[in-house]
Amino acid sequence: TQLLEQSPQFLSIQEGENLTVYCNSSSVFSSLQWYRQEPGEGPVLLVTVVTGGEVKKLKRLTFQFGDARKDSSLHITAAQPGDTGLYLCAGDTSGTYKYIFGTGTRLKVLA
């Protein structure tokens, strides 16, 4: 059973569109991270959220941690081809900074 489910699995959109991807679990997380991974490379950390209801912004990316700390969302405004990649969420349930990764959302932004 996958601890962290991400949706959608695949998303193909046109440049300039907005999108939201989701990360859901039945477990409570002490912290949750979002990564982006490009082909042939390792994941790169985008953000860490630790407080229920927390919202963080990174340029056109907005990250939200659910109030109950069981879910998170990533919203991208005016997507660009450079946003193409695999987006992974990762949660720490034990407070030991050992992160379990989600199933991933593969995003393709078409020019």
Count of beta carbons in the 10 Å neighbourhood of residue 76: 21
CB burial of 81-104 (b: ≥16 within 10 Å; e: otherwise) equals eebbbbbbbbbbbeeeeebbbbeb
Is 2 near another protein (CB under 8 A)?
yes
Q: In this chain, which stretch among 17-25, 40-48, 53-61, 68-76 interacts with another protein, using CB under 8 A?
A: 40-48
Is 44 near another protein (CB under 8 A)?
yes
CB-nearer residue toward another protein: 17 or 38: 38
Q: Which residues bind another protein (CB under 8 A)?
A: 2, 33, 40-45, 48, 88, 96-104
